[in-house]
């Protein structure tokens, strides 16, 4: 998750989870095959044809075989999660895979024991929400409310980022997101100086490294909205770590809702963000998100068994 276990068994598990038990404000994980329109999009944007797919899968398997200290699942679905964002260039996908597993090995504070059951605080806080709606280009949307919704004494920066790692790993397991990509809205309404002081350069370095080097997905944009002047202090910490590609994907909207609507479409935004959706931004989901994610504890535990050996 990147999905490491048996794909068919995971699909069966998802279908057995009662969707009505999940709060309607939360995205429900679906691992359905690509539709015909998404297959066409994958062909046009990602070079995805049967011939290229077969060649890339064979090549990346050979590269993995030659990397003796790297252990990964040998199934097409797992490998596809790295090949799709690299447009089926096997060497690029293998380099991404190595960065992904190196990241998990070198960031134990954020990655050790990264299982939903261990992250109850963040998923009860309503700071992070996997949204049940999509941008107009089909991108999945992750909402982070880091201003007035965030109490850093109850949910630390580290806990928040661990939640981001969990959800971003789940996002890339969905075939439609692998093709359409993912967007993140960060709402900083009500951010205060006392909150900013909890954010350290080490946090900035770890977060940027994940999205810049190790995240195996198509990150379309990070849209920061409702940010007060004090956010300049945070961005000053982050900016030195940003490469050009990621910097160009970070959009500072301030309080301007028009540009956000242009990017996402009004039908994909809550009314508070200038859209048309009646979507609860502050309503508590209770245990719903946490309980739902705990259905996938085994998948995340299995993922932890893969990667580089401790001696490497």
Q: 122 pLDDT exceeds 90?
A: yes
Q: 100 pLDDT exceeds 80?
A: yes
Average of per-residue pLDDT across 114-123: 96
Average of per-residue pLDDT across 275-302: 90
Average of per-residue pLDDT across 24-31: 84
The H-assigned helical ranges of 89-241 are 90-106, 108-111, 120-125, 157-172, 175-180, 193-196, 201-209, 231-238
User: What's the pLDDT score for residue 312?
Assistant: 57
pLDDT per position as a tens digit, 229-278: 999 989 999 999 999 999 999 999 999 999 999 999 999 999 999 999 99
Average of per-residue pLDDT across 284-306: 90
Say which residue, 173 or 28, is predicted with more confidence.
173
Q: 20 pLDDT exceeds 70?
A: no
Q: How far is Cα 15 from Cα 30, in angstroms, rounded to an integer?
A: 9
Q: 218 pLDDT exceeds 70?
A: yes
Q: 2 pLDDT exceeds 80?
A: no
Helix axes 231-238, 201-209, angle to 10 degrees: 60
Residue 143 contacts residue 185 (beta carbons within 8 Å) = yes
User: What's the pLDDT score for residue 5?
Assistant: 58
Q: 173 pLDDT exceeds 60?
A: yes
Average of per-residue pLDDT across 121-126: 94
Average of per-residue pLDDT across 36-51: 98
Say which residue, 12 or 301, is predicted with more confidence.
301
Q: How far is Cα 295 from Cα 166, in angstroms, rounded to an integer?
A: 13
Cα separation values, 128 from 89, 119, 147, 215, Å: 33, 12, 12, 18
Average of per-residue pLDDT across 101-128: 96
User: DSSP labels for 214-253?
Assistant: I--S-EEEEEEES--TTHHHHHHHHGGG--HHHHHHEEEE
Domains of the chain: 1-312 (3.40.525.10)
Residue 138 contacts residue 265 (beta carbons within 8 Å) = no
Residue 146 contacts residue 187 (beta carbons within 8 Å) = yes
Structure-token pair, residue 83: 């090949």
Average of per-residue pLDDT across 125-154: 95
Model confidence band, residue 207 (pLDDT cutoffs 50, 70, 90): very high
What percentage of the chain carries pLDDT values higher than 70?
96
Mean pLDDT taken over the chain = 93
User: What's the pLDDT score for residue 273?
Assistant: 95
Residue 107 contacts residue 81 (beta carbons within 8 Å) = no
User: What's the pLDDT score for residue 283?
Assistant: 87
Q: 30 pLDDT exceeds 90?
A: no
DSSP single-letter state for residue 269: S
User: What's the pLDDT score for residue 243?
Assistant: 96
Cα separation values, 89 from 46, 169, 203, Å: 10, 21, 31
pTM of the model: 0.94
Q: 34 pLDDT exceeds 70?
A: yes
User: What's the pLDDT score for residue 10?
Assistant: 80
């Amino acid at each position: 998750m990147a999905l490491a276990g048996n794909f068919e068994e995971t699909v069966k598990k998802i279908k057995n989870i009662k969707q009505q038990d999940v709060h309607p404000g939360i995205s429900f994980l679906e691992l359905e095959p690509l539709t015909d329109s998404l297959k066409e999009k994958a062909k046009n944007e990602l070079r995805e044809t049967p011939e290229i797919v077969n060649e890339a899968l064979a090549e990346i398997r050979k590269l993995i075989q030659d990397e003796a200290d790297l252990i990964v699942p040998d199934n097409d679905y797992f490998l596809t999660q790295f090949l799709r964002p690299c447009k089926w260039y096997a060497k690029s996908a293998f380099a991404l895979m190595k960065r992904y597993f190196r990241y998990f090995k070198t960031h134990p504070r954020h990655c050790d024991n990264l299982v939903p059951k261990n992250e109850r605080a963040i998923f009860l806080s309503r700071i992070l929400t996997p949204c049940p709606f999509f941008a107009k280009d089909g991108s999945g949307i992750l909402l982070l409310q880091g201003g007035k919704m965030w109490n850093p004494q109850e949910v630390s920066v580290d806990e928040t980022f661990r939640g981001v790692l969990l959800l971003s790993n789940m996002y890339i397991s969905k075939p439609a997101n692998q093709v359409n990509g993912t967007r993140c809205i960060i709402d900083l309404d009500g951010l205060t100086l006392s909150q900013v002081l909890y954010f350290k350069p080490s946090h900035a370095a770890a977060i940027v490294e994940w999205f810049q080097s190790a995240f195996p997905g198509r990150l379309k944009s990070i849209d920061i909205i409702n940010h007060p002047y004090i956010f300049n202090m945070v961005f000053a910490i982050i900016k030195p770590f940003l490469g050009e590609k990621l910097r160009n994907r970070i959009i500072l909207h301030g309080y301007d809702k028009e540009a956000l609507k242009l990017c996402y479409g009004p039908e994909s935004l809550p009314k508070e963000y200038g859209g048309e959706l009646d979507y609860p931004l502050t309503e508590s989901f209770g245990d719903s998100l946490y309980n739902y994610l705990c259905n996938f504890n085994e998948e995340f535990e299995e993922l932890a068994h893969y990667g580089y050996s401790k001696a490497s």
